Amino acid sequence: MIEPVLPSPNLAQYIVRQDPPVTFAEFFKLKAEVEELRRLLMAAKKFDEETKQPDCEMDEKVAFVKKLAEYVGVDMKEVFK
């Protein structure tokens, strides 16, 4: 079950009730990892543009990364234009 817990879009908007529950420390660690993933994807995109290589994105992976980023509140719009 997903329930809204915080009104701010800059913080975790939803918490998933699961067993065992996710701690705030675990959540924010995951958010930091997704933010790092965003930086890496931006670097990869820049490399693709500079070397004139076509995008090599897979729809399933892109959808997963977008959903995960949305869950932890990381904006990926710049990555997936």
The domain of 64 spans: 23-81
Classify residue 72: in a domain, yes or no: yes
11 inside domain: no
Alpha-carbon dihedral sign for residues 68, 74, 78, 81: positive
Instruction: Evaluate if pTM is beyond 0.75.
Output: no
Residue 7 scores a pLDDT above 70: no
Q: Is residue 36 part of a domain?
A: yes
Q: What's the rounded Cα separation, in Å, for the pair 20 and 29?
A: 17
Give the Cα separation of 55 and 33 in Å (integer). 23
Residues 25-59: tens digit of each pLDDT: 888 999 999 999 999 999 988 888 888 876 677 78
The answer to whether residue 37 is domain-embedded is: yes
Please indicate, yes or no, if residue 28 is contained in any of the structural domains: yes
The domain tally of the chain equals 1
Query: Predicted confidence band at 70 (pLDDT cuts at 50, 70, 90)?
Result: very high
